[in-house]
Amino acid sequence: MRQSEETEFYQQVLAICLTAGRLMIVGGSEMYRVEDTMLRIARNAGVRDPRVFATPTGVFMSLAGGELSQMIQVRERNMNLELVDRVNGLSREFANHELDFAELRDQIEAVETTTPSFPLWLQVLGAAALSATLMVLFMNDYDWINFPAAAGVGGLGFLAYVWFKQMTRIRFISELLATIVMGLLTLLLHRLFPVTTVANILIGGLMTLVPGLALTNALRDLFMGDLLSGVVRLFEAGLTAVSLGAGVALVIKFFGA
């Protein structure tokens, strides 16, 4: 392979690996899994000594002993494990020689636009079911008043979170505003139906926004030795929790409970 052809091939490998890494981070993957997938793709493509460093905000990769290097930024992170699974699946198929390099490139580039997501109405319904059931689990209290109230507050609060997230690019503002909406809805229900319990409804509703995946991935990164990624994600989960608490505190401070 001539020098120019080899350089062009390495550039293609870099582009595919960085795209795969970015998609996995966007989907909520752990950093060690991102790095492992990128390294496997590069090695199975015939590249020797690939080097990868992944963080929640960017991925760095070099080939040819460091002569060729690129990085890609990650500005948004969500929870879409289907995205992570698809990229992992394509990596395995490439390793098993079920795909050639050109097919791998085309399919990874198509993953971002072809990966299905649940419709909004189903996400809201799931948030309502989650809020009601987790209220029973955490508060050890079940009745026919707080149960549907927690479901309604959780579902509407999640809908508000999605809407605020689309309207602003500032991190943690959508969580804060959605929590304020949940607090106001809870107080309104309590005024209309005094038999309801404010604490039970709020705790159930907030479960839809609690950063459980971020906290879990942070601990897994720490246990795997990715200290930088683990600390960053742990701090991010902490700020999200502070936003949730601040929203509830503001409602209780100004409107009472």
68-73 sheet: strands from edge to edge:
51-55, 58-63, 68-73
pTM (two decimals): 0.82
| Residue 127: both structure tokens together | 């948030």
∠ CA 74-72-16, nearest 5°, is 110
φ, ψ of residue 68 to 5 degrees: the values are -115, 125
Give me the pLDDT at residue 145, please. Answer: 84
| Residue 254: both structure tokens together | 């100004």
Domain residue limits, the chain = 3-114, 120-255
| Residue 131: both structure tokens together | 């809020």
Q: For 22-51, b where at least 16 C-beta lie within 10 A, e where not — what string?
A: bbbbbbbbbbbbbbebbbbbbebbebeebe
Q: pLDDT tens digits for the chain (257 residues)?
A: 566 677 788 888 899 999 999 999 988 888 888 999 999 999 998 888 889 998 888 899 988 776 788 888 888 888 788 888 899 999 999 988 888 888 888 898 888 777 777 888 999 999 999 998 888 888 776 777 888 999 999 999 999 999 998 888 777 899 999 999 999 999 999 999 888 888 889 999 998 898 887 888 888 888 888 888 888 888 888 999 999 999 999 998 888 75
- Name which of 133, 137, 173 is nearest 154 in CA terms: 133
On whether the CB atoms of residues 41 and 108 are closer than 8 A, the answer is no
Residue 216 CB partners (closer than 8 Å, separation 6+) = none
Q: Is 53 helix (H, G, I), strand (E, B) or coil?
A: strand
DSSP state of 71: E
- In angstroms, rounded to a whole number, what is the distance separating the alpha carbons of residues 198 and 187? 7
Alpha helices, H only, 45-168: 81-95, 101-114, 120-139, 146-167
- In angstroms, rounded to a whole number, what is the distance separating the alpha carbons of residues 200 and 83? 34
